[in-house]
Amino acid sequence: ATAADRITVTIDPAADGPTISRHLFGQFAEHLGHGIYGGVWVGRDSPIPNTRGIRNDVVAALKAIQVPNVRWPGGCFADEYHWRNGIGPASQRRAGRNPNWGGVVEPNTFGTDEFMDFVGQIGADAYISANVGSGTRQEAAEWLEYLTAEQTALGDERAANGHKAPYKVAFWGIGNESWGCGGAMSAAHYLEELKMYSHFSRNYNPAQVMQQIAVGPDGAKTEYTETIMRAWAGKVWSWDIAGLSLHSYTLNGWPPSVKATGFGEPEYARFIQETLGMDDLIRKHGAIMDRYDPQKKVALVVDEWGAWLAPTPGTDPGFLMQQNSQRDAIVAALNLNIFARHAARVRMANIAQMVNVLQAMILTDQEKMVLTPTYHVFRMYVPFHDATLLPARFKPERYRYGKYAMPRVDAMAARDANGKLWVALTNIDYQRPVEIALAVSGRPAVAVSGQILAAPQADSVNTFAAPDTVTPQPLTASMVQGRPVLTLAPRSVAVVAVEQ
């Protein structure tokens, strides 16, 4: 490569940045299609290897990406969920319907205790979304009593159902998309609900902190952000929030019609350009939050994000099943980099969704399981969990296709708890490889190695028959004039450790 093809990324390993919360790597699991049933829960009597009904293969895969939290039970499902239907002996569970997602029967065999068992098995925190739309404050308060109290009737009921000790509810979401499927409420109306739900949502487990998260903006709309943050700044007592939620998908228009496979550069460029808009969105809402909360006490929580594509042909469109390609791995990496750069305000995010739904980590079919390119990005990014963000300076150049123009590369750097330096690099360019030279201030880098996720095509996917088409490969730098230089294939994501 000529020097012109080489982009230098300069990192100051001694700089002091915000913590990249591990909760940025959170997951979302809704009762939707095969997100839970089949994907997580197969039942105790299933021939598919399981622990108390929960798939062992899925648990092992999720443990490997150190999932920090799981948001459940929805989504739109949450505002129609009645927790009492999902506790107690399986034979007494009350089946209902899932009107949002295909109208299928919801057997309620996976309920509160199964979810808490699941997050316990994978070592994640629970992020539970309360029903504000069709539930009551009393129902929500009792759910929390069931989860967290001792020496009360509901605490005793939990013990009788097999869990004597109170659970830890780390995050409590007050509704979901209350501007939409959660009740189509005006911001002013939702605010009144929020205050009362927040006040009456008691966590009775004194050993565990519970953070409450309010419904926030729908994409670029600012009414919820303004209304809730203004009220929060002026509040006198009795309610509080630790986070304000933002939902934003990469869609290229509604209804979702972008193909999961069988696309070319025009569709790729348009999709990636839209993905990069997440940065503007965070800036826009962050600026409003800064006005009311300059100390950044309230986090912006991007608890639904990812690629929302046309459903897999032949599947129930209400199940939101889609394949997951190398392009989607790029979408994941770019979003994670954006969240990390805004780590002072964005302290939690949940990709939609964990298994078999939208931009999933894992696809299953009966006993079969496959890990998606997006899964591999999450695995490669584990070193960034709770690491310290470092400034990465670089001139990204431009990648252009027709009317689309965007940076050619992206880079994000951090120092982990052991002082080790990590760099994430994305070559966005569809056609051209790129060389990246790493310049580290202070002590020079002596070796750089890690992994790269590249693929034969932008629409390459992993299937049950060919599960390793897109998997990380070792990547090492060569030293050029005393500096490590890495070669990144077109449309690739790399994460490397820097030895000094």
Counting contacts by CB under 6 A, is residue 74 touching ligand AHR? yes
Give the interface segment with ligand AHR, choosing from 107-115, 292-300, 350-358, 468-476 (CB under 6 A). Answer: 350-358
Counting contacts by CB under 6 A, is residue 106 touching ligand AHR? no
Q: Regarding beta strands 6-11 and 434-440, do their DSSP bridges make them parallel or antiparallel, or are they unpaired?
A: parallel
Q: Least distance from C-beta 351 to ligand AHR, angstroms?
A: 10
Cα 184 from chain centroid (whole Å)? 24
Show contacts with ligand AHR in window 3-62 (CB under 6 A): 30
**304 classed as catalytic:** yes
Q: Least distance from C-beta 75 to ligand AHR, angstroms?
A: 3
Counting contacts by CB under 6 A, is residue 177 touching ligand AHR? yes
Q: Least distance from C-beta 411 to ligand AHR, angstroms?
A: 30
Give the DSSP H/E element, type plus range, for residue 447.
strand 447-453
Counting contacts by CB under 6 A, is residue 113 touching ligand AHR? no
Q: Which of 84, 75, 93 lies closest to 35 in space, CA to CA? A: 75
Give the pair of three-digit tokens for residue 115.
């979810």
Q: Which of 441, 466, 440, 436 lies closest to 452 in space, CA to CA? A: 436
Q: Least distance from C-beta 182 to ligand AHR, angstroms?
A: 8
Q: Write a three-state SS string for 383-409.
A: HHCCEEEECEECCCCEEEECCEEEECE
Give the interface segment with ligand AHR, choosing from 17-25, 69-77, 230-238, 445-453 (CB under 6 A). Answer: 69-77
Q: Which residue, 248 or 492, has its beta carbon nearer to ligand AHR?
A: 248
Query: What whole-number distance in Å separates Cα of residue 160 and Cα of residue 145?
Result: 14
> Which residue among the candidates 30, 145, 177, 274 is catalytic per the annotation?
177
**267 classed as catalytic:** no
CA distances from 186 to 140, 189, 489 (A): 21, 5, 47
Counting contacts by CB under 6 A, is residue 76 touching ligand AHR? yes
Counting contacts by CB under 6 A, is residue 176 touching ligand AHR? yes
Give the DSSP H/E element, type plus range, for residue 139.
helix 137-148
Q: Least distance from C-beta 14 to ligand AHR, angstroms?
A: 41
Q: Least distance from C-beta 230 to ligand AHR, angstroms?
A: 24
> Which residue among the candidates 106, 142, 304, 435 is catalytic per the annotation?
304
Q: Which residue, 293 or 316, has its beta carbon nearer to ligand AHR?
A: 316
Counting contacts by CB under 6 A, is residue 328 touching ligand AHR? no
SS3 429: coil
Q: Which residue, 98 or 337, has its beta carbon nearer to ligand AHR?
A: 98
Give the interface segment with ligand AHR, choosing from 68-76, 117-125, 288-296, 331-339 (CB under 6 A). Answer: 68-76
Q: Which residue in the set 130, 351, 352, 423 belongs to the binding site for ligand AHR (CB under 6 A)?
A: 352
Question: Rounded to 5 degrees, what are φ and ψ at 322?
Answer: -150, 145
Show contacts with ligand AHR in window 279-308 (CB under 6 A): 304
Q: What angle do CA 469, 49, 166 make, to 5 degrees?
A: 110
Q: Which residue in the set 13, 75, 217, 286 belongs to the binding site for ligand AHR (CB under 6 A)?
A: 75
> Total residues contacting ligand AHR (rule CB under 6 A)?
10
- Find the distance separating the first CA and the last CA of the chain, reported in whole Å: 25
CA atoms within 13 A on the CB side of 46: 19
Q: Which of 218, 220, 213, 345 lies closest to 289 in space, CA to CA? A: 345
- What 311-315 contacts at long range (C-beta under 8 Å, 24+ apart), as own/partner pairs, is 311/256, 312/260
Report the residue number whose CB is nearest to ligand AHR.
75
Give the pair of three-digit tokens for residue 350.
């949940």
Q: Least distance from C-beta 215 to ligand AHR, angstroms?
A: 10
Q: Which residue, 193 or 304, has its beta carbon nearer to ligand AHR?
A: 304
Q: What angle do CA 196, 201, 206 make, to 5 degrees?
A: 145
Query: What whole-number distance in Å separates Cα of residue 249 and Cα of residue 309?
Result: 10
Alpha helix ranges (H) inside 149-215: 153-160, 187-200
Q: Least distance from C-beta 197 to ligand AHR, angstroms?
A: 17
Which residues lie near ligand AHR (CB under 6 A)? 30, 74-76, 176-177, 304, 352-353, 358
Catalytic residues: 177, 304
